[in-house]
Amino acid sequence: MLALKSKEQGSDLSGEFADVAKRVSGRLEDESNKILREELADIEAWVGDQQKRTAGDITKIEGAYKANADSLESTGAFSKEEIRQQLAKIQERIDEKRATYDSYGALLERSRQIYE
């Protein structure tokens, strides 16, 4: 718009145009940063909720593992190794949940590092 105005008036407004472009660019950057921070805050809240849910799942599964291990051990019919083998699938699930929990933690850390 300023370029058209300068042509009509026969003057050089390139400096004025550059100033306006800088102000517009600065405002766009500020608003973009604001939007990104808001979105990251929402994502961080969601990831935090997922981490809490996963931690609860881990606690429940570990409880089931311990209860089953204690029950099998109390029979005296199984060695510790046999019990471990019998409960290997449950242990795998615990390990999967822990890995998921850790990856949520890594996501939170990356998100927080963006604006540090």
- Return the half-sphere exposure (C-beta side, CA atoms, 13 A cut-off) of residue 82: 9
pLDDT the model gives residue 47: 94
pLDDT the model gives residue 24: 85
The model's pLDDT over 53-83, given as tens digits with 9 standing for 90+, comes to 999 999 999 999 999 999 999 999 999 999 9
Q: What is the pTM of this model?
A: 0.69
3-state secondary structure string across 4-56: HHHHHHCCCCHHHHHHHHHHHHHHHHHHHHHHHHHHHHHHHHHHHHHHHHHHH
Q: Provide the Cα torsion 37, 42, 43, 49; round to 10°.
A: 140
